[in-house]
Structure formats: C-alpha cells, structure tokens
Structure 1
Amino acid sequence: MSNLLSIGASGLSAAQTALSTVGNNISNVNTTGYSRQTVVQTEAISQSAGNYTIGSGVDVQSVQRAYSDFLTSALWTATSSTSRATAYNSLATTLNSSLSASGNLQSALDSFYGSFSTVANTPGVASSRQSALGSASQAVTVFNTLGQQFAAQQSQVNAQIKTTVDSINNVSSNLADVNAKIHAAGNNVPNDLLDQRDNLVQTLSGYVGISAYTESDGTISVYASSGQALVSGDKSFAMQTGNNQYDPSRTEVLDNTGTVVSGKLSGGTLGALLDYRGNVLDNVQNQLGQAAVALSTSVNEQQSKGLDLYGKQGGPMFSVPTPNVLPSNLNKGTGAVSASITDVSQLTSSDYVLSYDGSNWNLATTAGQAVPMTANPDGTYSANGLTFSLSGTAQAGDSFQIQPTRQASTGLALTMTDPNNIAAAAALNATAAKANTGNGAIGSVTVDDPTNAALLNGATVSFPSASSYQVTDSTGNVLASGSYAPGQTISANGWSVTPSGTPAANDSFAIGANTNGLNDTSNALALAGLADKGVLAGGTQSVIDSYGTLTTTIGTVGSQASSNLTTQTSLFNQAMSAQQSVSGVNLDEEAANMVRYQQAYQASAQVISTAQTIFSSLITAMQG
C-alpha cells in the first residue's frame, strides 16, 4: 500500500506544481519581459522486485522558461535599431518643423532681391528705398530665427546625450546587481531573475547598440558598440559625458577610462543622437551660415561698386561674424589663430581642424580628410576660401577647430539704416571726347576692385593710334598702356572697360565718378540680379539656390528617417512576434493546461484515496 500511496502522492505533488506554474503564467500574461514557464516531469526511477518492476511515480525535474537564445538576441538587435530609428525620426521631424516655423526664407529672399528692381524702376521715390531696407530686415530676421532654432536643437541634443548616458549607467548598474543574485543562486537560478536579466539587456539595447554574452553561471556580459564593457559579472562600468575639447557647449561621450568614444557608438537612442548631430545638424547649420555669408558678401560687394544718393561709394548693407576659431583645451603652447573668409566662391560647409606637428601646420576637415593649404608670402595660409593668420608660439600637438559659417546665420545683421545709402547708381561712367572721329564707344565701366583708393579718381583712356592705347590720370601720369585690338579689355585703378567698335587715332574717353546718380540705376539692377548670380560653389550657385539645396537636404533627411522608422518598426514587430511565439503566454493554452493538470490532481488524489481504502480494509480483516 505504501508504494501505491507514494505513487499517488508524487502525482499529486507534480500536478500541484504544474497548476501553480500555470497560475503564475496566467498572472503574468501582461508582464513585460516575462517568459512562459513549463514543468519538466520525469518518471521516477523504479526499484526491481524480482522478475518485474513497478513504477515509482513521477519526479518534477525543473520549472523551465520557454526561451530561445537566437530569438532573444534578434529581439535585442531589433530593439536597438528601432529605438535609433524612432529617435532619429523625432529629431528630423523637429528639424523640418523648425524650417516651417521660422518663416519662409525663400519668399524673404525673393522679396529682398525684387525690392532692388523696384528701386531701379522708381529711383526718385524714397519709399522704394525704405521698402528695400524693410525687405533686407525681414530676410535677416528669418536667417536669425532659423539659425536660433538650429542652435536650440543643438542644445537639446547635447542635453539628451547626457540624459541617455545616465540612463545607460543606471540600467547597467541594475543589471550588475541581478548578475550578482544569479551568481549567488548557483545551479538553481530562479526564472524571474533570468527574466529580469534579459529585460534589462533589452532596455539597454534601446539606449545603445550592444553585444551580449551569457556566461556559464547564467550571468551576462554586455559591451557597447564602441567595445567598452558595460557589465561584466557583478560589476558595471559607467560611461561618462564631458565637454568637447574645442567647444565646451558640445557634449561628448567618454568610456570609463575618460577616452572619447562618441564617434564609435552606434545603435539605440544614443547612436541616433550622435549620428544626427554630427552628420545632419552640424551640416545644416553650416549650410545656412554659408548662405548668410554669401548674401552679406555679395550684396556688400555690389554696394561698393555703386554710388549712393550722396554721391559716395556704396557702403556695406550687412555684417556677418568672422569664422569661429576654437583652441583645443589640450594646447600647451601660446599659439593663436584667426581666420577670415577671403573667397566666398570657394567656401564650403565643412568645419576644419588646424594642427601643428612641431614643424608644419596641417589642415583637415573634422571628418579627418586632409585639406591642402597654400603658404602666402605674408606668413598666412589659405585654403577653401579661408585665410589663417598665426601668432604666438605653438607646440607640437596643438590644434584649433575652425567653424567658418556655424554662427553666421544667427549673427547676420542689417547695418544700413539710411535708405539713401543704397548704391543704386553705377560708380563710374565713360564720356567720349567730342573730337573723336572713330566709331569706338564705351558703354559701361566695370568695377573690378572697389577697395582701390584711386577708383573714383578721374582718368583718360586714349588711343594714340588705332592699334595702341594709353590710360593717364588727371595729372598726366601714365597708368597703363599697350597695343590694342578691337574687343580688348583695358584696366586701371580697379576698373575696366571693353570698348566696342574701332576707335580712331587720337580718340579718347574720360573715365570718372558718375554724376548722374539720381537717374542712373544700373547698380540697383545689378543688386537685383544677384538673385540669379552664382556666388558659391566656384561661382555656380546663387544664395537662393543654396537655400534650395538646404531645404532639399532637410526634406530628404526627414523622408529617409520616416521610411527607415517604418521598416525598423516592421522588423521589430516580426522579431517580437517570433520571440513571443516561444516565450509568450497564450491564455487559451494555459486554460487547457489548467483543466488537464486539475484532472491529473484529482486522479492522483483518487489514487491516494484508493490506497487508504485498501489499507483500511486490510486492517479490518486482520482485526476480524
């Protein structure tokens, strides 16, 4: 009877354990990270009884998690990619919103350039000039606002980087604590600890790309995409944040040794923040600044080629900040660098690092691409439309970051306040001598160098013969001379002319300051023509074209980010579905199991009851 009783008791115990496990599954059906548990039963080892053996019941070997290493790892990878895509799309959406909320720069530029046409058509109307200044002010406001929006997002991204690193450190610390509990449990690790472990790893993968390795004792080691260990056994290794060596407002990520690893991290929210900041936001800020520099430089230059209503050479209409030069906080020498933009047509949207190796200065983009420099006779260096002036004594290893256009859009300002200062008239004109006998003519005088001190001084272009020319100043000094052929350009004092027709011997033309400033609006037309004039990219791209490229870039980033989010979300859902098909709780299945184990429990109870009845009958018979 004892054998039958023990068999029933083992079945009762096994059924009770299974029912408890099913109940636990049902209770945790909505628990994030919970893995369905199942009871593993084995037949109890039977004892030999002569020529036959009778079973000894059932043993509960373990309560196992429904788990797949492969599917769980795939889910971690999908989580990292989806979190990155979500964060990146959010940032790109904010960028597009900034572009819309800051006002339509395209319309502001169109209005600005168009206002010069109005000035040209109504040269004597003061309101036309005032309206032109108003349009200039509006363009500056849109540039400033858009630049401020981009700068604000830079600050937000830097703050998010720090917050994300703090979250990574917190999760890593919690994971190390769970690892310690798993190790202490020995060979009988509670399933809830393993679920906690995997759930923390998945949370960590949402913050940054990781690789994870399960150790023989059930603990897990986790490494960031940079190679830094985040968790190993019961120890966590905190990441750090610090200031960029050049820009103290820029947050960098450092490993636990203090080494900057921002460029090595990928995946997750942190990877998205770093990638977006370095490859999108920096670039659009620089592109917008590049357009602001082009606007200021081209308009100011054209202004200097004309005369205002006071009969003076046109002054600047805009001002823009000079390139930002940031010394490294690791510099040991006393060297200093200043930078200026000397050729806008060669200006790019890149930032640079100028470094000293102990013998030579070298220039490279912040991405590490070497940029050739030209050494100038005055000791300066030139490259990509920039000129660098050096002072002090640098030591080997010293470096400076150059941001040519980063601050230009926020710093663009309208410096002209008097509408009469708009240089609508040409600076110079040519007057043919009355005694001329040839059919040569000079239509307009082109200003080549508005900075020439003698630009507005009078000069005479004469032709001693039909095949020679001579330029003299008001005192008779010869400024230029040589042979002449029809269509040839003649230059002096920062101006040039290209006579048409064929001048006769002794013909001459007087070159002097324009005295018809009120009625001559040729320079206003030239200012209006800047809308289509190539200023950037070697003189092939106008300011309006540059802004169009910027909007296209931002639109493309947003479109790609949205498309990638859709793709990654789909892949995540597939990975989650596959993992849950193994580890997830199915209520219908659990309900069926509950009925099955309940019946097994009742049947085992009946076995015990039967054993008791037989035993009682045997005792009664023996007593009779």
Structure 2
Amino acid sequence: MSNLLSIGASGLSAAQVALSTVSNNISNVNTTGYSQQSVVQVEAITSQGGRYTIGSGVDVQSVQRAYSDFLTSAVWSSNSSLQAATSYNNLATTLNGALSASGSLQTALDNFYGGFTTVANTPGLASSRQSLLGNANSLVTTFNTLGQQLQAQQGQINSQISSTVNSINTVAANIASLNTQIVQAGKNPPNDLLDQRDNLVQTLSGYLGVSATTQSDGSISVYSTNGQALVSGGNSYAISAANNAYDAARTDVFDSTGNDISSRISGGTLGALLSYRSNVLDSAQSQLGLQAVGLASSINDQQAKGLTLSGQQGGAMFSVPTPAVQASSANQGSASLSASISDVGQLTGSNYIMRYDGSAWSLQTTGGQNVPLTTNADGSLSADGLTFNVSGSAQAGDSFQIQPTTQASTGIAVSMTDPNDIAAAALMSGSAGASNTGSASLGAVTVQDTGNAALTNSVTLSFPSAASYQVTDSSGNVIASGSYAAGQTISANGWSVTPSGTPSANDSFSIGLNSNGLKDTSNALAMASLSNTGVLASGTQSIVAAYGQLTTTIGTAGSQAQTNLTTQTSLYNQAVSAQQSVSGVNLDEEAANLVRYQQAYQASAQIISTAQTIFSSLLSAVQTA
C-alpha cells in the first residue's frame, strides 16, 4: 500500500507544481519580459529487485523558461536600432521645425537684396535707404534666431547624453547585481531573475548597441558594439559624460579609463545623439555660419567699392565674429593660436584640429582628413581660406580646435546706423580731357584693392602715343606706364580700367572719386546682383543657393530619418513577434493545461484515496480474523 500511496503522492505533488506554474504564466501574461515557464517531469527511478519492476511515480526535474538565445539577441539588436532611429528622427524633425518656424531666411535674403534695387531706383530717397537698413536688421535677426536654435539643440543633446550615460551605468550595475544572485543560485536557475536580467539587457540595448555572452557559471558579460566592457560577472564598468577636450560647452563620452569614445559609440539613443550631432547639427551650424560670413564679406567688400551719399568711400555694413580657436585642456606648452579669414571663397565649412609634433604643425578636419598647410613669408600658416598665427612656445602633442564659422550665425550684426552710408554709387569715375582727338573712352573704373591707401587719389591717365600710356599723380609723378594695345586693361593704385576705342597721341583722362554720386547707382545694382553671384565655394555658389542647399540637406536628412524609423519599427516588431512565439504566454494553451493538470491532480488524489480504502479494508480483515 505504501508504494501505491507514494505513487499517488508523487503525482499529486507534480500536478500541484504544474498547476502553480500554469497559474504563474496566466498571472504574468502582460508582464514585460516574462518568459513562459513549463514543468519538466521525469519518471521516478525504480529500485531493482524481483522478477519484475513497477514504477515509483513521477519526479519534477525542473521548471524551465521557454527561451531562445538567438531570438532574444535579435530583439536586443533590433531594439537598439529602433531607439537610435527614433531619437535621430526626433532630432531631425526638431531641426526641420526650427528652419521653418524661425522665419524664412530665404524671404529675408530676397527682401535684403531687393532693397538695393529699390535704392538704385530711388538713390536720393531717404525712406528707400532706411528700408534697406531695416531689411538688413531683419536678415541678421533671422540668422541670429536660427543660430540660437541650433545652439539650443546642442545644449539639449549635451543634457541627453549625460542623462543617457547615467541610465546606462545604472542598468549595467543592476545587471551585475543580478549576475551575482544568479551565480549564487547554483544549478537551479531562478527563472524570475533570468527574465529580469534579460529585460535589463534589452533596456540597455535601447541606450546603445550591445552584445552579451553567457558564461559557464550562468552570468553574462555585456559589451558595447565598440568592444567596451560594460558588465562582467558581478562587476560593472561605468562610462562617463564630461566636457570635450577643446570645448567646455560640449559633452563627450569617456570609458572607465578616461579615453574619449564618443566617435566609436553606435546604436541606441546615445549612438543616435552622437551621430546626429557630428553628422548633421555641427555641419548645419558651420554651413549657416558660412553663409553669414559670405553675405557680410561680399556686401562689405562691395560697399568699399562704392561712394556714400556724403561722398566718402563706403564702409562695412555688417560685423561678424572671427574664427573661434580653442586650446586643448591637455596642452603643456605656452603657445596660443589666432585665426582669421583671408579668403571667404576658399572656406569649406569644416572645423579643424591643429597639432604640433615637436617640430612642425599639421592640420586635420575634425573628421580626420589631412589638410595641407602653407607657410607664408611672414611666418604665418594658411589653409582653406584661413590664416593662422602662432605665438609662444608649443610642446609636442599640443593642439587647438578651430571653428571658422560655427559662431557666425549668432554673432553677425549690422554695424551701419546711418542710411546715407549706403554706398550706392561707384567709388571711382573717369572723364576725358577736353582736347582729346582720338576715339578712346574709359567706361567704368573698377576697384581692385579697396585697402590701397592711394585708391581715391586723383590721377591722370595719358597716352604719349597711341601705343603707350602713363599714369601720373597730382604732383606729376609717374606711378604706372607701359605699352598699350587696344582693349588692354590698365591698373594703378588699386583700380583698373579697360579703355575702348583708339587714343590719339597726347589724349588724357582724369580718374578720381566719383563726382556724380547722387545720380550714379551702379554700386547698388552690383550689391543687388550678389544674390546670384558666386561668393562661396571658389566663387561658384551664391548665398541664396547655399541656403537652398542647406535646407535641402536638412530636409533630406529628416526624410531619411523618417524612412529609417519606419523600417526599424517593422524589423523590431518582427523580431519581437518571433521571440514571443517561443517565449510568450498563450492563454488558450494555458487554459487547456490548467484543465489537464487539474484532472491529473484529482486523479492522483483518487489514487491516494484508493490506497487508503484498501489499507483500511486490510486492517478490518485482520482485526476480524
């Protein structure tokens, strides 16, 4: 009877464990990260003896999770890609919104350049000139607003990087803690802890790309996609968010030994933040600043080639910040570096790192591309439209970051306050001598060097013969001379002129400040034409075209981000569906199991009842006998 009783008891116990397991599955059907559990039953070992053997009941060997390492890893990977796509899309959408909501820069540019046409049509009308200055201020405000919004997004990204790094460290520490508990559990794997650990790894994968390796003791080691160890057994290795080596207002990511790993992190929210900042936002700031510099430089240069309403050479209409130079916090020497823009047309919109190796300086873009440096006669260095001057003593390994245009969009300002200072007229003009007998005429006097000290001095261009010329100053000193052929350009004192026709011997022309400033509007028309004139990219791209290219680039980045988000969402859903088909709880299946194990429990109870009845009958029979 004892054998029958023990068999029934084993079945009763197994059914009870199975019922508890099924109940736990049903209770956790909506629990994130929960894996379906099932009871593994084996036949109890029967001792040998006699002519035959009878089974000894059932043993519950384990309660195991429905789990696929491959499918779970696929969910982690797709989750990392999805969170990266989500963050990237949110950032790109914000940037597109900033370009739209800040007021159209295109409209401001059109109004500004159109204002010069209005001044050309009504040069003596004060309201036209005042309106042009108003358009200039509106344009600058639009540049400033856009630049400030880009700066604000930089600050938001810095904050998000710091909070994401803190979250990564917290989750990694919790995984390490669970590793310790799982190892202590020994050979009986605690399913709830395993589920919690997997759920934490998935959470971690949303912050950055990770891979995980299961160790022989049941713990897992977690690494970022760049190979950085985050968790190993019961230990976690914290990363940190700290100031960039050059820019204290910029947050970078460092490993546990202090190495900057920002450029090597990919996947998840953190990877998206760093990638978007480097590939989209930094470039947008530099390109917008480049347009501000190009606009200011071209207008200021053309202003200097014109004459104001008061008869003076035109001055600057705009002011812009000089290139920002930032020394590395690791510099050991006393050297300082200054940078200036020497040729706007050669600017690339890139940022640079300049390093000293102990004997010479080298230049690279922040993306790592080498840039040739030219040593000038005065000892300065130049490259890509920039001139660098080094003072002090540098040590090997010292470096500087140069941002030629990053701050220009927020720093550009209107420096002109008097509308009469708009140089609408040509600065120089020429007139033929009264006794000229040839057919030569001068046409426009073109200003070549606005900084020439003798530019506006009155001079006489004469032709001693039809085949020679000379330029003399007011004192009769010859400042330029040479042979002459029809159509030849003659230059002196920073201006040039190309006579047409054929001069006769002793013909002469007077050249000096334009005496017809009020009626001459050629310089205003020249400034209006700058809207379609190549100013940037070696003179091949206008400011208007550059802005159009920027908006197209940002719009394309936003469109690609949205498309990628749609794709990654689909891939993630597929991965989760595949994983849940193995690990998820099926209520219909659990309901059927509940009935099956309930019946098994009742049947085992009946076995015990039967054994008890037989045992009672035997006792009664013995007592009767």
TM over 0.5: yes
> 2:328 matched to which residue of 1?
328
List alignment gaps of at least 5 residues for structure 1.
none
Residue 125 of structure 2 corresponds to residue 121 of structure 1: no
CA distance in 1, matches of 2:298, 2:367: 29
Aligned to 1:515: 515
User: 1:122 Cα deviation (Å)?
Assistant: 0.7
1:186-197 alignment, distance < 5 Å: 186-197=186-197
Q: How big is each residue's C-alpha offset from its partner over 1:111-145, in whole Å with a ceiling of 9 and x where there is no partner?
A: 00000000000111110000000000000000000
Name whichever of 334-343 and 51-60 sits farther off. 51-60
- The one-letter code sitting in structure 1 at the alignment partner of 2:350 is S
CA distance in 2: counterparts of 1:588 and 1:510, whole angstroms: 104
2:344 corresponds in structure 1 to 344
What residue number does 1:25 align with? 25
**1:133 maps to amino acid:** L
What amino acid is aligned across from residue 545 of structure 2 in structure 1?
D
Alpha-carbon distance in structure 2 between the residues aligned to 1:234 and 1:390: 51
2:615 is the counterpart of 1:622 = no
Q: Which residue of 2 aligns with 1:465?
A: 465
**What SS class does the counterpart of residue 470 from structure 1 fall into?**
strand
After TM superposition, the structure 1 = structure 2 runs for residues 284-303 of structure 1, keeping only pairs within 5 Å, are 284-303=284-303
**Residue 152 of structure 2 aligns with which residue?**
152
Map of 2:479 onto structure 1: 479
Q: Structure 1 segments of 4 or more deviating over 6 A?
A: none
Q: Which stretch shows the higher mean deviation, 577-586 or 613-622?
A: 613-622
Question: Shift in Å at residue 332 of structure 1?
Answer: 1.1
> Aligned residue pairs: how many?
624
CA shift for structure 1 position 398: 1.0
1:160 aligns to what SS in structure 2?
helix
The one-letter code matched in structure 2 to 1:178 is L
Report matched runs for 1:525-564 at 5 Å: 525-564=525-564
1:396 corresponds in structure 2 to: 396
Share of identical aligned residues, percent? 71
**Counterpart-to-counterpart distance in 2, 1:549 and 1:429:** 38
Q: Which residue of 2 aligns with 1:441?
A: 441
Q: How does 1:581-620 map to 2 (within 5 A)?
A: 581-620=581-620
More divergent stretch after superposition (606-615 vs 272-281): 606-615
Q: CA deviation at 1:47?
A: 3.2
Deviation at 1:40, TM superposition (A): 0.5
Task: Find the counterpart in structure 2 of residue 506 from structure 1.
Answer: 506
- Distance across 2 between alignment mates of 1:498 and 1:606: 120
Question: How far has the Cα of 1:274 moved from its partner?
Answer: 0.8
Shift of 1:608: 1.4
Which residues in structure 2 correspond to 1:71-220 (within 5 Å)? Answer: 71-220=71-220
Q: Is the 8 A contact 1:48 1:54 kept in 2?
A: no
Q: Supply the AA of the counterpart residue of 1:236.
A: S
Which stretch has the larger CA shift, 129-138 or 495-504? Answer: 495-504
RMSD: 1.0
TM-score, with structure 1 as normaliser: 0.99
Instruction: Tell me the residue number matched to 2:312.
Output: 312
Please give the alpha-carbon distance, in whole angstroms, between the structure 1 residues aligned to 2:610 and 2:395. 97
Q: Provide TM-score, normalisation by structure 2.
A: 0.99
Using the alignment, how far apart are the partners of 2:215 and 2:202 within structure 1?
17
In structure 1, C-alpha distance between the alignment counterparts of 2:479 and 2:541, rounded to whole Å:
36
Cα deviation 1:33-73 (Å, max 9, x = unaligned) = 11000001111123345332211111111000000000011
Q: How does 1:365-380 map to 2 (within 5 A)?
A: 365-380=365-380
| Kept in 2: contact 1:47–1:54 (CA 8 A) | no
Query: Which whole-Å CA distance do the structure 2 matches of 1:504 and 1:571 have between them?
Result: 84
How far apart are 1:438 and its partner, in Å? Answer: 1.8
Aligned residue type for 2:608: I
1:473 is displaced (CA, Å) by 1.4
Map of 2:494 onto structure 1: 494
Matched with 2:570 is 570
Q: After TM superposition, give the deviation of residue 621 of structure 1 in Å.
A: 2.0
Alignment of 1:350-361 (within 5 A): 350-361=350-361
Partner of 1:408: 408
**Distance (whole Å) between structure 2 residues aligned to residue 469 and residue 57 of structure 1:** 124
> Residue 64 of structure 1 aligns with which residue?
64
State the distance in 2 between where 1:458 and 1:233 align.
Answer: 87
**Structure 2 CA distance, aligned partners of 1:263 and 1:415?**
40
Structure 2 alignment gaps of length 5 or more: none
Give the whole-Å Cα distance in 1 for the aligned partners of 2:532 and 2:447.
19
Contact 1:355–1:399 (Cα < 8 Å) also in 2: yes
Query: Which residue is 1:240 aligned to?
Result: 240
The equivalent residue for 2:258 is: 258
Q: Look up the SS of the partner of 2:12 in the other structure.
A: helix
Moved more, 183-192 or 31-40: 183-192
Distance 1:566 1:98 in 2: 23
Q: Distance in 2 between matches of 1:105 and 1:437?
A: 54
